[in-house]
Amino acid sequence: MGKLAQREGLGPGGKTGEVIAQTLVEKFPQDVKITKATQNRVFATVNKPAWLNVAAFMKDALDFDHVTAVSGVDWLEEKKMWVVYHITSYANRVTAELIVELPRDQLEIDSISNLWGGANWHERETYDMYGIVFLGHPRMERILTPDGTDYFPYRKDFVGGRRV
């Protein structure tokens, strides 16, 4: 762990997953629920209104510097969607999985593209595939499907199959 702290360009390091989980719960007691925390993994669920504050705190105070992935999951019968964020901290060698639940009739969430530029295209893709709108995103447009596509392909009520 000491060797980690000396690497150039990375933060001070030294916080394990358990420490990070505890810090998050202390700072946001109502909004963050920790499912599991090990030395290099944190699994948590976050409430939607507090999401941007939690993300900004993770970036500034906990040295999380890289968004690994932003995924959407469609739970059709339960009438909700998840947005699953995987964010990595190089200095601490921890990857956190954060799940934000959205009701299926109001698919909006704050964008974290202004904090981490790496989330930009991930959020665009999630919009393209699921229809989840990221508020504050600099360019909320389709990216992978052709222009003029009027469906959201990865939703569970969209039946795949040949159509071109």
How many residues touch another protein (CB under 8 A)? 40
Asked if 57 touches another protein (CB under 8 A), the answer is no
CA distances from 94 to 13, 27, 98, 110 (A): 10, 19, 13, 23
CA distances from 130 to 107, 147, 161 (A): 9, 16, 17
Asked if 16 touches another protein (CB under 8 A), the answer is no
Are residues 37 and 17 in contact, defined by beta-carbon separation less than 8 angstroms?
Answer: yes
Asked if 1 touches another protein (CB under 8 A), the answer is no
Closest among 100, 42, 41 to 70, alpha carbons compared? 100
Q: Which of 17, 62, 65, 96 binds another protein (CB under 8 A)?
A: 65
Q: Which of 38, 60, 61, 66 binds another protein (CB under 8 A)?
A: 66
Map the footprint of another protein across residues 128-157, applying CB under 8 A: 129, 143-146, 153-154
DSSP lists the bridge partners of residue 83 as 72, 100
Q: Which of 22, 50, 52, 90 binds another protein (CB under 8 A)?
A: 90
Considering the complex, state which of residue 1 and residue 26 has its C-beta at the smaller distance from another protein: 1
Asked if 9 touches another protein (CB under 8 A), the answer is yes
The total of other beta-carbon atoms located within 10 Å of residue 152's CB is 20
Q: Smallest distance, Å, CB 61 to another protein?
A: 16
Q: Which of 54, 122, 127, 137 binds another protein (CB under 8 A)?
A: 122
Site string for another protein, 31-50 (x = CB under 8 A): ---------x----------
Q: What is the distance between the alpha carbons of residues 79 and 162, in angstroms, rounded to a whole number? A: 27
Are residues 94 and 16 in contact, defined by beta-carbon separation less than 8 angstroms?
Answer: yes
